[in-house]
Amino acid sequence: MTAGWAVRRTRPGVLREDYPAWLLRAALSIPSVSGQELPLAGFLAEQMDTLGFDAHVDEVGNVHGVIGPADAPTVMLLGHIDTVPGQVPVCQVGDLLYGRGSVDAKGAFVTMICAAARSRDVRVHAVGAVGEEVAGSRGARHVMETVPRPDAVVIGEPSGWDGVCLGYKGRIGLGYEMHQPPLHTSSPEPTAVERAARWAGDVQDYLRGLSPDPDPDPVAFGVAAGTLIRLCGDLADAEAFLTCRVPPGFDFAALERFARGRTHSRIWVDERVPGVTRTRSDPVVSQLRAAIAAQGARPTFKRKAGTSDMNTLDPWGVPMAAYGPGDAHLDHTTDEHIPISELYRAIDVLTVALPRLGRHLAAAPPDTARALAGSQLLEA
């Protein structure tokens, strides 16, 4: 499949005009539900090798591609190549390309590959990470443990071609499990499933009580909230599970103490992911903003209620923001699609931003760049 679509660049850094759209369609045609990303990783490694990257697939299935001068600042472009389950037939209707992952987030990673192949004067390390759609972020955590810290990071997530994402809420998942002797339905004692429902409601009330005043932000970025996504049981046995979205600086330990203090039953936690936010003065944000403006648009800034690999990589403390084409409201839906024209606009934006960011990083002392990145406690 790849041989018939060799890139055939007319000169260094120039791709065939139809290549980005073809690459995204080809990537969408290779299913990559979390845990099953290897075929797509291998395909993308072949494509990056053809484009001139030094490419490989690592021990956990992440695909890596490095390109650019070895003595230049390194910008990591990290997107995720796994998707949630569910089929969206791959097809194009006019300018719209449909397929699972077109928005979240194969479109963003194709943008990164194509922009990196066109960029000069900056060293780019592109990573297609696995396991972002499930608890643990296995791919991004492996990158943190095995790859030298870059000078800056762009996370591949849908922000819209003219938008930049400054932050993501954190997450903790709380599970409840209990067993008790069966009761007669006439007993005044709560059944097991009633106890589970009451526990879940208490946790939700606790989270709501942390922010008594309404948040005018439609994303409610500063508000903690719990969503009951599983409740099952009967008179004797019950399970419940809450996924909780929390703001930067959230006290996970206090929540766990409350949750455990409301019951003698088993409580378990799947992950604790701190929220993250960056300022508009962050060098990555600034250069993306300037590149969007250079394309004739007014940049928009977003913070999201979900999580991403930006949360995972934030401890690096380097300049960082999230960027990619697509409407995030289509994430995980049966209508997931992306305008091809938006894909090309995003490639143009990132192509402009990368060398500018590289020059900025080369001119600024590392400590200064990291200081400008801000921290998860700073407001945007």
The per-residue pLDDT for range 306-327, each reduced to its tens digit, is 999 999 999 999 999 999 999 9
> How does pLDDT run across 61-80, given as a tens digit for each residue?
999 999 999 999 999 999 99
Same domain as 280, residue 161: yes
pTM over the 0.85 mark = yes
Rounded CA separation 323/159 (Å): 5
Q: Which residues are catalytic?
A: 82, 132
90 shares a domain with 32 = yes
**Helix, strand, or coil here: 110?**
helix
Q: What pLDDT is recorded for position 378?
A: 43
Last residue of a domain, one of 221, 240, 273: 273
pLDDT for the residue numbered 69: 95
User: Are 295 and 351 in a shared domain?
Assistant: yes
**Least confident segment among 32-36, 83-87, 120-124:** 120-124
What is the structure's pLDDT at 186? 79
Please check whether residues 65 and 77 belong to one and the same domain: yes
136 with 45, same domain: the answer is yes
Q: What is the mean pLDDT of the chain?
A: 91
Task: Check whether residue 18 and residue 96 sit in a common domain.
Answer: yes
Whether residues 9 and 134 share a domain: the answer is: yes
Residue 379 counted as domain residue: no
Residue 285 lies in a domain: yes
Residue 378 lies in a domain: no
Stretch 140-158: mean pLDDT, rounded?
97
In this structure, is residue 380 part of a structural domain?
no
Question: Could you tell me if 312 and 267 lie in one domain?
Answer: no
Whether 164 and 308 share a structural domain: yes
Range of the domain at 199: 170-273
In contact, 259 and 203? CB cutoff 8 Å:
yes
84-98 pLDDT, tens digit per residue, is 999 999 999 999 999
What's the average model confidence in pLDDT over 33-56? 97
| Residue 2 pLDDT level (bands cut at 50, 70, 90) | very low
- From 239, 273, 307, the end of a domain falls on 273
What's the CATH code of the domain at 91? 3.40.630.10
Last residue of a domain, one of 220, 247, 273: 273
Q: Residue 103 has what pLDDT?
A: 98
Pairing of strands 91-93, 152-156: unpaired
Q: Are residues 32 and 157 in the same domain?
A: yes
Our count of domains for the chain comes to 2
- Identify the band that residue 219 occupies on the pLDDT scale cut at 50, 70 and 90: confident
